[in-house]
Structure 1
């Protein structure tokens, strides 16, 4: 076998055009507004913009509209406080949360051999329902509810074998 070592080649693209630099520095402001700023003298040093109709790849990929994930408008985030392990589940409606938690708990307890001790959730209706309360009582899991309107309590605390559950509407 005859092998030869090849020198690596950098494929980075460098844009020498100052307008692209200003476009990026102004948070990917569109070129039409940059041209207006330049002509009105609103900012010092902004060059004359000649390519008002050009498109930036980063702007295109960052601003494109995305379809929802098959009608899944909510997500449920499960976090183990002691290991920092996180699991995200997409939900069509909030009432699916209890079933997802049941399946997740069964899976994790089987894999780790440890029992869920504490379950901390926000005060969403899916977590304060009678059904969910009965489930936690049957499982022997202590329930902790965060104070109303206090998302800062959803952070990780220094308590072992605790699972934090949060739910939010996705913006996808």
Structure 2
């Protein structure tokens, strides 16, 4: 246990054991014979073991979680030898609910769309990509206007250039569109949460 990173301490007639995260696992007092006896209960694995007190639930498991209406039909038509009559056909199996649940369909369109150009701009810093460009760039800063879907793609060599690139984009976009970006939607990664980046957005009125 000591080689595996556990901490073991003998102090004032008591044995204490901590795990790798220094969580106390055991505290054993010293016995009259100077032995520290720790009584443990062995865990009994239940993997691949079908447990159930009801015969119907056992047959439900044997047939790969077939629904109870199907089991009753098998019994009524005598299609399976030894299968008893299934009465509780309206019960629900928790495993069946988890295994057969479906994911909701993705929405065909967003709940919110910008009404004006540069009202909402999506930004993301992607990379590193291989191989690098001849000029040594291995990242790219992608900006997408939510209304027009117009894209700006700027190549970068390091992440710390994202702030400088955004300031240049902000000035050019405001000059071309006649309005400044309203909201910048990002994944809130480190380059976008830097103090200089946030201060610039606050100064320019960009949310």
- Verify same fold: TM over 0.5: no
Class of the TM-score when normalised by the shorter of the 2 chains: 0.3 to 0.5
What TM-score do you get using the length of structure 1 for normalisation?
A: 0.43
What TM-score do you get using the length of structure 2 for normalisation?
A: 0.36
